[in-house]
């Protein structure tokens, strides 16, 4: 009986060791998988941040291109303005008003 009991104890210890080894291997694989996932996640975050920055810069550039600069008055408008000012100096207000209406 002692040999059977000793053998059972050896089997139990052997199974316990195998179980502990399996748990250790599982935990190691789990940690490796988590490390890989975290690494991939951080890479994706960096890529998305870079992509967002590029898109933001492109949108700003397009906005600035589409936004009109301070408009430069045409030569015709400047000429009408000059005529209007001269008519006002000559007290010809009715004609100055007509020229002013053309300029609008």
| pLDDT (tens digit per residue) in 33-75 | 999 999 999 999 999 999 999 999 999 999 988 887 777 888 8
What pLDDT, in 10s, does the model give residues 41-52? 999 999 999 999
Residue 74, SS3?
A: coil
Q: Which of 59, 82, 89, 90 is closest to 99 using CA atoms?
A: 82
Tell me, yes or no, whether 17 and 35 share the same domain: yes
78 and 46 assigned to the same domain: no
Same domain for 56 and 74, yes or no, is: no
How many domains would you assign to the chain?
2
CA 46, 48, 54, 55: dihedral to nearest 10 degrees?
A: -160
Tell me the three state secondary structure of residue 73: coil
**Entry pTM:** 0.48
Same domain, 11 and 47: yes
Task: Please give the residue range of the domain that contains residue 98.
Answer: 70-104
Does 52 lie in the same domain as 13? yes
Based on the domain organization, do 37 and 52 belong to the same domain?
Answer: yes
């Amino acid at each position: 009986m002692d040999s059977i009991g000793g053998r059972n104890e050896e089997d139990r210890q052997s199974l316990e060791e195998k179980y502990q080894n399996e748990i250790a291997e599982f935990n190691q694989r789990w940690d490796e998988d988590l490390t890989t996932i975290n690494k991939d996640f951080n890479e994706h975050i960096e890529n998305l941040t870079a992509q967002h920055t590029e898109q933001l810069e492109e949108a700003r550039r397009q906005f600035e291109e589409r936004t009109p600069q301070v408009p430069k008055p045409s030569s015709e408008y400047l000429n009408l303005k000059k005529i209007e000012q001269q008519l006002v100096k000559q007290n010809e207000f009715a004609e100055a008003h007509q020229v002013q209406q053309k300029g609008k």
